[in-house]
Every structure is written in structure tokens, then in C-alpha cells.
Amino acid sequence: MSVYTVSYNGLTIQEDGNHMIETIVGIDGPKVRVSQDQKTGGDGGFVWATYKDIRLITITGYIFANVESTYNYLKEQLQNNWCLTTTDNLISITRSDGTIKNINGRVTMLPQLTEVAGQQGTAQFKVEFSCANPNFTDANAQTSTIYPQVFGGTPVFTPVPFPVGGVNTVYQILVGSSVSTVSTLIINGGIVNPVLFNSNTNQLINFNVTMNTGDVLAIGQSNGNYYATLNGANAIPFANCILQPLILNSGINTISLSGTSFNSTSNAVVSFYGIYNSI
């Protein structure tokens, strides 16, 4: 059995002589919400859609202290930090092998403390979190840089059988998580009419815009909304595609960057967090 460390809202609970986590329920695959109907004139029915439900994480553990003042402080600390909030906060869970997975949620059952007569300085606690987005993510983003062209080459005889001046280069990005993920894409100038293509998903991101050296085009998602900005200003009118962030499937994604013209300073930086159904 793994030994877990849980951090939330400024308080970390781990086996440190004053705390112990006994059980964590809800860190495996999330429950599934099913849209379905029954047949009235026959066996079975229809399953229209399936979706992941809100994730509930329930943690039980103990607080220990030999000194009464310390014991009372630890109880207050738990109740003050793992408390009701108006927004989601980061829940960070670390396994005994050092693997860290994050999820956003909030307390939906305040810490319940149970004290037993004869067990001085010991209290069992139970707390519940609800996570609107049921997916766990890596603690740190993975980043890949993609260049549109390999410069240079070897001399060739004339007539030249194909255009010279650079060769489009494809890059492979490995997504090790079990679920497709949304990335944040940064395209750096100079490049004219940048085009990014994922051949595994056939997704094309294409903007009709001239980007000088130093210009930055950012494409991503924030609070459920898609965005595109050029040097901080709205760049959605320049989009020549259905605007959405770059989607990376689980496994290998083959990505290429091209444009009408570009120089040695142009590239695309893809950043993403792996997404997981469980820890």
C-alpha cells in the first residue's frame, strides 16, 4: 500500500509524527454519468452518452500530539486550512514513490474529528473534497520546441530538382498520460501565415498574420474559454481555422510548423500537462 501525502490550501498532511493518512477514497477511475433510456416494448434500452462525473475524494487520518497545546493547535490548523472556500484550490497528492498528481477541488464536508475516551492527544479526522473537473494532471508541464526549417545543406548540381533553402521538419511529442490533453501553444516570430499541423489528429492551426521577430502568438484555453493573442492583443480575427487549442492524443503526436516565409528566430513551443483518470 502506498503512503500518501496530501497538500491543500497551505496545509500538508503526511506521516510526520503528528499526522497520519489512513485511507484515501476516490483517486481511482471516476464514476461515470450515463444518459440512457429503457425500451418500453422490449428488452434493454439505449445508451446515448457517457461522461465522467464529479469526483469525490474522501480522506481519513489521525492527529497525534503528546502536548495538549500542540494537539489543540493541530486540530485548529486542520479546521482552518481544510475549510469551505468560494473557489476551487489545488489538491496535490504525492505517492510514496515520489509521483505527484494534482487536481482542483474544494471542501464539501468539513473535517469531522472523533476523539475517544482514554486516547489522550489523538483524534481521527474525515474530510471530503468535490472536484468539478475529475481529471488528475501532472505537477509540472512538459514542453517541446518545434522549428519550421532545418537551415543549410550540401551543394547540388543545376538544374536543382526541388526547391532549396530549408526542409520542413516534423517533431514527435509523446503524451504518456491515458487521456488526450489540451496544450498551450506559443508561436514566436518572425514567420508569415504560420501553420501548425498534428498529423495524428489532422488538426490544423492556421493564422493569416505577419509576425516580426519578437512577436508572440499565444493559443490556449483559460477557464473553459479558448483564446488567441498576438503580443497580448486579441488575435482571433486572424484565425483561418476553427479556433481551439492544440489537442494532443495519448501516445505519439507528429507535429510540423510551416509558413509562407520564416527566419531562424521562428519556432513554436508546445506545453501540456498529462491528464489521468487515476493516480
Residues 222 and 253 in one domain: yes
Please tell me the predicted confidence (pLDDT) of residue 2: 61
pLDDT digits (tens, 9 = 90+) for 152-164: 544 444 344 434 4
What is the model's pTM?
Answer: 0.80
Instruction: Give the CATH number, domain containing residue 238.
Output: 2.60.120.860
| Class of residue 28 by CB neighbours under 10 A (exposed 0-12, middle 13-18, buried 19+) | exposed
Q: How confident is the model at residue 184 (pLDDT cuts 50, 70, 90)?
A: very high
Chosen domain end from 102, 134, 166: 134
Residues 151 and 224 in one domain: yes
Residues 118 and 209 in one domain: no
Residues 148 and 253 in one domain: yes
Number of domains in the chain: 2
| Grid coordinates belonging to 13 | 498532511
Residues 102 and 225 in one domain: no
Q: Which domain covers residue 14, as residue numbers? A: 5-134
Instruction: Give the CATH number, domain containing residue 49.
Output: 2.40.30.200
Residues 122 and 168 in one domain: no
pLDDT digits (tens, 9 = 90+) for 102-125: 999 999 999 999 998 888 899 999
Q: How confident is the model at residue 176 (pLDDT cuts 50, 70, 90)?
A: confident
Chosen domain end from 85, 101, 134: 134
Can you tell me the mean pLDDT for 22-51?
A: 93
Residues 93 and 170 in one domain: no
Residues 130 and 205 in one domain: no
Residues 241 and 181 in one domain: yes
Chosen domain end from 134, 151, 178: 134
Residues 106 and 224 in one domain: no
Residues 72 and 197 in one domain: no
pLDDT at 239 over 50: yes
Residues 161 and 236 in one domain: yes
